[in-house]
Amino acid sequence: MDRVDIDTRIRSLIEPFNKKGVEISDSTTFATDLEFDSLTVMDFVAAIEDEFDIIISMNQQAEIENYGQLVDAVCKLQND
C-alpha cells in the first residue's frame, strides 16, 4: 500500500473524530488543531490499528504530533 492509499484511508477514519470539520493537512496537529483529548486519542488510535492491523504503542504516539507524521508512521509500520 502506498502513502496515498494510506492517507485516503486515514482521512476517512478521522472524519467521525473531526467534530469541528477542521480541514486536514499534513501539518494539522491532533492536540491543538483537532483538540483531541486522551480518550479521543485512544479511540482514534484503536480505529487505525484495527484498519491496518498494526500496533502504535504510546511510545510511538508520543512522537506523532501532526497528521503527516501519523501517515508516515503508519506507512513505516505497514512495511515493517
Partner 1 sequence: MSEGINQSDQPVAREGDAPDLFSKFDPLIKQRADLLASGIEDPFSLVMERVLSPTQAICNGRETILLGTYNYMGMTFDPDVVESGKQALADFGSGTTGSRVLNGTYQGHRECEDALKEFYGMDHAMVFSTGYQANLGIISTIAGKGDYVVLDIDSHASIWDGCALGNAEIVPFKHNDIEAMEKRLKRIPEGAGKLVVLEGVYSMLGDIAPLKEMIAIAKRHGAMVLVDEAHSMGFIGENGRGVAEDQGVMDDVDFIIGTFSKSVGTVGGFCVSNHPKFEIMRLVCRPYVFTASLPPSVVATAATSIRKLMHNADKRAHLWENSRKLHKGLKERGFTLGTDVPQSAIVAVIMPDLERGAAMWEALLTEGLYVNLARPPATPANMTLLRCSLCAEHTSEQVDTILGMFERAGKAIGII
Under the rule (CB under 8 A), what is the footprint of partner 1? 37-39, 42-43, 46, 49-50, 53-55, 57-60
Q: Which is nearer to partner 1, 23 or 80 (CB)?
A: 80
Q: What share of the chain is helix, strand, coil (3-state, %, to 5)?
A: 60, 0, 40
Distance between CA atoms of residues 4 and 57, nearest Å:
23
The neighbour count for residue 6, using CB atoms within 10 Å, is 21
Q: Which is nearer to partner 1, 4 or 62 (CB)?
A: 62
Task: Tell me the closest approach of the beta carbon of residue 54 to partner 1, in angstroms.
Answer: 6
Place of cell 482521512: 11
Task: Tell me the closest approach of the beta carbon of residue 28 to partner 1, in angstroms.
Answer: 23
